[in-house]
Amino acid sequence: MFRGGHMKVLIGAPVRTSERIFAHYLAALKPLHADTFFFLHDSPALADQLLPGGYEHVTSVEAHEPHKWTPQLLTEVALMKNRLLEKAMQDGYDYFFLVDSDTVVHPHTLERLLSREKEIIAEVLWTKWREDGPEMPNAWMANFYEFGDVSPNKFRSPGVYEVGMVGGCNLIHRSVMKAGVNYNPIYNLSYTAWEDRAFCVRAAVHGFKIYLDTTLPATHLYRHQDVESFERDI
């Protein structure tokens, strides 16, 4: 399924972020040498950083505050992600690489993930969801954000791990898209209003395993201080 010839990859995401963060995001994607397409979600100013034809504008029906997710906004994000999967399928891509627009990847991330030969695999990134809380990974074992007997710090060790859910930096093989796995909410699982959960539940039901690579951690520019720290280090 995975071997033989060059793999055609589309990178994309719904985008709502600052011009400053988006510039770092695009600079990190450039060395990956893959096609890109973005939905600019109430973010018309970001078009200045993109080539014509590489994006589409989407206008929300309600105001959007940073990190504040209403049911309407989650629905809009799910629809945009589904359209990206459809575009990848229709345009003949072997993989879709979903990279959230506040995530900065290592220049060898795509190469490394492709080499793992998995249908669904994410690269680890760490986030303090609360300013006074610990850093937590973008992968977990079950339900909304449960780890069971697994310590999140396990993912500090380089390797590839089978997990239950991932989000934020996911490489998805065409076979997953072809099976109909998508981001639509599942009506009898309330936490699947969060679209990444819906995607992972569907993937599991279709028999796909989900993996996390931890060898080239991405950087999540989640807060202003994350941006400041990142810029000091480059």
Domain membership of residue 1 (yes or no) is no
Q: How many CA atoms lie within 13 Å of 54's alpha carbon, on the beta-carbon side? A: 15
Digitized pLDDT (tens) for each residue of the chain, 234 residues in all: 444 458 999 999 999 999 999 999 999 999 999 999 999 999 999 999 999 999 999 999 877 777 788 999 999 999 999 999 999 999 999 999 999 999 999 999 999 999 999 999 999 999 999 999 999 999 999 999 999 999 999 999 999 999 999 999 999 999 999 999 999 999 999 999 999 999 999 999 999 999 999 999 999 999 999 999 999 998
234: its two tokens: 């480059």
Domain membership of residue 4 (yes or no) is no
14: its two tokens: 């719904």
Domain membership of residue 85 (yes or no) is yes
**For residues 109, 115, 118 and 122, what is the CA-based torsion angle, rounded to 10 degrees?**
-10
- Which CATH number belongs to the domain containing residue 110 in this structure? 3.90.550.10
Residue 166 to residue 46: CA distance in whole angstroms: 27
Collapsing DSSP states into helix, strand and coil, what is residue 218? strand
- What is the per-residue pLDDT for 6? 82
Residue 48 to residue 88: CA distance in whole angstroms: 24
Domain membership of residue 108 (yes or no) is yes
Residue 177 to residue 140: CA distance in whole angstroms: 22
- What is the per-residue pLDDT for 5? 54
Q: Residue 21 is part of which domain span? A: 9-233
Residue 177 to residue 68: CA distance in whole angstroms: 29
DSSP state of 206: T
Q: How many CA atoms lie within 13 Å of 130's alpha carbon, on the beta-carbon side? A: 3
pTM equals 0.95
Please count the structural domains in the chain.
1
- What is the per-residue pLDDT for 4? 41
